[in-house]
């Protein structure tokens, strides 16, 4: 219970003060405990952040029904749009995690590496979907998936900074769906 409270309070502090400005003493005090108790649960602030990143991954992937690989393999526009909508629906809940992870990645090499591994694993799942479907030249599949994932990641970060103030949700998700279908489904775009 103390471990979970430390994680919750850390996330609140990271959102309010930022990752770098938040100290272990701040986290311990917010949880009503001490630095010593903090160290009984986490070796460092970075280790605590690693656990928050694992929680974030669980939040993102637990809602994937069907999983991303199957969505890409299907080539079904409706499933692609559903996947993208599910991700956008998750952004309000995941925003504090993503912002903290990005701030931590700038100063913690282990967090930066974890983030890169997560991106690589997601792109690999998408590529496996294209491999399973045998769509497109195999030499282009990684790039197609990297571009599609990059677009989703960019839109999510822009939303986290500005909300839907720049473009409305429906337009953004429709255009992103069009782009994903072009990159991952449209056989006529083969070169």
CATH number at residue 18: 1.10.10.60
Residue 186: pLDDT band with limits 50, 70, 90 = confident
Q: Does residue 190 register a pLDDT over 90?
A: no
Q: Do residues 51 and 139 share a domain?
A: yes
Distance CA 164, CA 170 (A): 10
Same-domain pairing of 16 and 88: no
- Answer yes or no: are the C-beta atoms of 82 and 187 closer than 8 Å: no
Quick one: 184 and 139 in the same domain? Answer: yes
pLDDT at 189: 44
- Please give the Cα distance from 78 to 127 (Å, whole number): 19
Q: Is 31 exposed, middle or buried (0-12, 13-18, 19+ CB in 10 A)?
A: buried
Which H or E element spans position 138? Answer: helix 138-162
Are residues 97 and 36 part of one domain?
no
Q: Half-sphere exposure of residue 130, counting CA atoms within 13 Å on the CB side?
A: 27
Residue 158 and residue 82 share a domain: yes
What total of structural domains would you count in the chain? 2
- pLDDT tens-digit map of 85-141: 999 999 999 999 999 999 999 999 999 999 999 999 999 999 999 999 999 999 999
Position 188 scores a pLDDT of: 59
CB 52 within 8 Å of CB 95 = no
Q: Are residues 9 and 94 in the same domain?
A: no
| CATH value at residue 62 | 1.10.357
Backbone phi, then psi, for 52, in 5-degree steps?
-65, -35
Q: How far apart are CA 16 and CA 43, in angstroms?
A: 23
Encoded tokens for 110: 């282990």
What is the pLDDT at residue 191? 36
> Would you say residue 17 has pLDDT above 90?
yes
Beta-carbon count within 10 A of 161 CB = 11
What pLDDT, on the 0 to 100 scale, is given for residue 15? 96
**Same domain (yes/no): 26, 56:** no
pTM here is 0.90
**Rounded to an integer, what distance in angstroms lies between the CA atom of residue 138 and that of residue 35?**
52
Whether residues 52 and 128 fall in one domain: yes
Same domain, 177 and 124: yes
Indicate if 61 and 111 belong to the same structural domain.
yes
pLDDT in tens, 29-42: 999 999 999 999 99
| Residues 85 and 103 grouped into a single domain | yes
Same domain, 2 and 64: no
Tens of pLDDT along 49-79? 999 999 999 999 999 999 999 999 999 999 9
Domain with 35 in it: 1-42
């Amino acid at each position: 219970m103390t471990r979970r409270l430390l994680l919750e309070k850390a996330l609140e502090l990271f959102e309010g003060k930022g990752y770098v400005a938040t100290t272990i003493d701040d986290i311990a005090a917010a949880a009503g405990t001490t630095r010593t108790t903090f160290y009984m649960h986490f070796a460092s602030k970075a280790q605590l952040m690693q656990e928050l990143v694992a929680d974030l991954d669980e939040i993102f992937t637990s809602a994937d029904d069907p999983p991303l690989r199957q969505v890409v393999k299907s080539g079904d526009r409706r499933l692609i749009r559903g996947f993208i909508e599910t991700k956008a629906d998750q952004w309000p809940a995941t925003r504090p995690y993503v912002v903290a992870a990005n701030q931590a990645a700038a100063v913690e090499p282990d967090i930066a590496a974890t983030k890169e591994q997560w991106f690589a694993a997601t792109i690999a799942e998408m590529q496996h979907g294209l491999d399973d479907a045998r769509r497109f030249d195999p030499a282009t599949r990684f790039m197609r998936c990297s571009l599609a994932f990059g677009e989703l990641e960019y839109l999510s970060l822009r939303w986290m900074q500005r909300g839907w103030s720049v473009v409305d949700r429906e337009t953004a998700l429709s255009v992103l769906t069009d782009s994903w279908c072009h990159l991952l489904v449209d056989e006529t775009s083969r070169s």
